[in-house]
Amino acid sequence: MTTAESSTDQRLLASMLRIRMVEQTIADRYSEQEMRCPVHLSIGQEAPAAAMSLVAEPADYAVSTHRGHAHYLAKGGDLSRMIAEIYGKVGGCSRGRGGSMHLADPSVGFMGTSAIVGNSIPVGVGLGMALQIKAQPNVSFVFLGDGATEEGVFYESANFAALRKLPVIFMCENNQYSVYSNLEERQPASRRIVEVARALGVPALEVDGNDARASHVTVANVVAQTRAGAGPALIEFETHRLREHCGPNWDDELGYRKPGELASWLKRDPIKALLDSGTFDPEWIESTTADIRTEIDAAFRFAKNSPYPDPAELAEDVYA
């Protein structure tokens, strides 16, 4: 392994460990009843976000979904402000008014998440159009799940992006489930998301979304092409959420997954896969995890010490 490859592996692993440790801490502390908003954890599907974190430039844009913690952090969002937002505190990135599903930090190009499936897709396409009008050599990352490809807004947005040749990267994290319904129960077996995108004029690629290296190479290549003027593209990451749809718990006892399905995905854990396939200095891992733990502890202290929003300001920033 070359020095450059080793550095890339370390950056991917550090990004995934940070996302995993943050969400694990949220899960561990959720029962304290101080985080009073729903949380949708992406434990098990950290690799696409980590891949984006190595490629995205500060002036690039990103939007995401209700499961957006990883994308916010990977785009450079402030951890303390994210945790404060989940605690509903005024120090949060949305001033404590949005909670886990409404994260935003325009200062780093993270333009927002939405609780409505598919709702952020046209926003990301509009951001791509703004970049094109301004002739900026940047791209707009649009994170979406497989369920969002069943919304009409996906078809309209992808068609418009293809028509205008916009610098938009659709980052489709196909975790197989829309809440508790498997993809097989929602779409014909012969239909593939990448083929739907191609039919709309958007070039599309599939990649193992639990393979951090493959995800990084794919994202880097696609982004380079889009920055050069190739127009939009869709990357479908095959991955899996390991925890429940909404909440901090495991939910395999509900029976909506096939027997053995969760166990098979646990064996494909993206962090374990990278650790097993690479050579990492144990002292570097220990130092990295210690630094992340220190950052997380500070973020939770910040959140707990931040005040709640003033009720008198309830109507501020409301547009109708």
Q: What does DSSP say about strands 177-178 and 181-182: parallel, antiparallel, or unpaired?
A: antiparallel
**Confidence class of residue 3 from pLDDT cuts 50, 70 and 90?**
low
**Confidence class of residue 293 from pLDDT cuts 50, 70 and 90?**
very high
**Measured distance CA(104)–CA(107) in Å, rounded:** 9
Does the pLDDT value for residue 92 go beyond 80? yes
Contact status, residue 226 vs residue 139, Cβ threshold 8 Å: yes
Does the pLDDT value for residue 159 go beyond 70? yes
pLDDT in tens, 36-71: 999 999 999 999 999 999 999 999 999 999 999 999
- Across residues 211-222, what is the average pLDDT? 98
**Confidence class of residue 317 from pLDDT cuts 50, 70 and 90?**
confident
Does the pLDDT value for residue 5 go beyond 70? no
**pLDDT > 70: percent of the chain:** 98
Does the pLDDT value for residue 285 go beyond 80? yes
Question: Which two tokens mark 224?
Answer: 């380079």
pLDDT in tens, 225-245: 999 999 999 999 999 999 999
Q: Residues near 11 by Cβ (< 8 Å), separated by ≥ 6? A: 53, 54
pLDDT attached to residue 320 = 74
pLDDT attached to residue 274 = 97
